[in-house]
Amino acid sequence: MLQILTFLQLVLIVAVIVYLTVNMIYIVRLEPILKELDNSPMVSVCVPARNEERGIRQCLESLLEQDYPHYEVIVVNDHSTDHTGHLIREMAEKDPRLIGFDGKDLPKGWLGKPFALYQAFQKSKGEILLFTDADPVFEPHALRTAIFTMRKRNLDALTLMPKVKFGSFWERAVQPTIFGFIGSLTRFRKVNSSNHKTAMGFGAFLMFKRSSYEAIGGHEGGKADILEDVLIAKRLKKAGFKLLAADAKCLFSIRMYYGLHEIWTGWRKNIFLAMKGSIFRALYYIFMVLSFLLTPYLVLGWNMLAGTDLTWLGLSLFGVIMVSATTITTCDELGLNRLNACLFPIGALVMASIMINSMIHIVIFSRIEWRGRVYSME
């Protein structure tokens, strides 16, 4: 029995590593563009903000320090109960490129973020639209590089992955596992091919040609979408428009959540929906994540305690080495100390727990909680 388990475990590890390696080959990595652009189009940067006092100043300052010549920043204060509104007004008074206003009451049928982005769009003037969040910090050449990429590749939309920053123990333990999981689900070859309808959108950076955005109905066409970034990208691809998803660690960074509570509530709202609301799919991926990141160590320990012969002990050790090499590579990719590879089994357990909690909230209680609002899924 133990020998069969060791063999099957090794087969699974090899299969996953082969898949991950092939998928990584197709990741497009942007490099900063510093040269001047001819006929730079007007860009409208749309920022929704609800209780973002912790990071919004740094975010807006980085946007206002762009070396791009023609742009505006539109910030919607979405009924914040902290000092977000005051910070927006204070900064808007000092720079005419920053347009800040208080959002309207949430209409029936809308979710908070899509409605805030829709309101920002209504006030925008740009030929190019950039939808982002209130916590990324952008390098001065971010807009220039994005516009250059849109032109060079003749894109209708561009979505970018940031450099992620980690602070607390739980951020370093859980977030790399979840980001690795999301990366594994993103089939970059298909996402970046015009011949496939597969799509991905990263809410921290979604740039559209205005004409393409309007053609698919914009955020009004997905007013009740929790995964608004992914689903608007899917509508874009379905309509036949060209999308590129790329790595842009050189352009901007983000620290998504601070501590375990924020990680838990932040991912709980949408991680089960990322499984297309399928219980089977969620349980399958829980099994795969735990089988790859946790059980190899358990199988090795079992072989050691059972005193199996050196062949099977060696095979189980080889499996652990391959998994460790993969997690170390992930740490390198995320800019983490390689010692953080030891935390992936913990991250796998926490991620599985969040997935189950998300499934319970949505399937049994039919609700999602986020930013002080409760949305019914019925």
- Residue-wise pLDDT tens digits, 315-338: 999 999 999 999 999 999 999 999
Q: Walk me through the domains of the chain, giving residue ranges and CATH numbers.
A: 28-169+187-259 (3.90.550.10)
> How many alpha carbons fall within 13 Å on the CB side of residue 359?
17
Distance in angstroms (rounded) separating the CA atoms of residues 9 and 288? 11
Q: Is the pLDDT of residue 280 over 70?
A: yes
Predicted confidence band at 208 (pLDDT cuts at 50, 70, 90)? very high
Label residues 292-329 b or e (16+ Cβ within 10 Å = b). Answer: bbbbbbebbeebeeeebeeebbebbbbbbebbbebbbb
- Residue-wise pLDDT tens digits, 226-274: 899 999 999 999 999 999 999 999 999 999 999 999 999 999 999 999 9
> How many alpha carbons fall within 13 Å on the CB side of residue 245?
27
Q: How high does pLDDT run on average in the chain? A: 94
Q: Is the pLDDT of residue 21 over 80?
A: yes
**345 is written with which tokens?**
């089994």
Identify the pLDDT of residue 378: 67
- H helix or E strand, kind and range, residue 217: none
143-156 mean pLDDT:
96
Among the residue ranges 166-170, 323-327, 370-374, the one predicted with the least confidence is: 370-374
Identify the pLDDT of residue 363: 93
Choose between 312 and 1: higher pLDDT: 312
To the nearest whole percent, how much of the chain has pLDDT over 90? 88
**174 is written with which tokens?**
């859980």
Closest CA to 45 of 162, 205, 160, 228: 205
Bridge partners of 99, per DSSP, are 74
Strands 98-102 and 128-131: unpaired
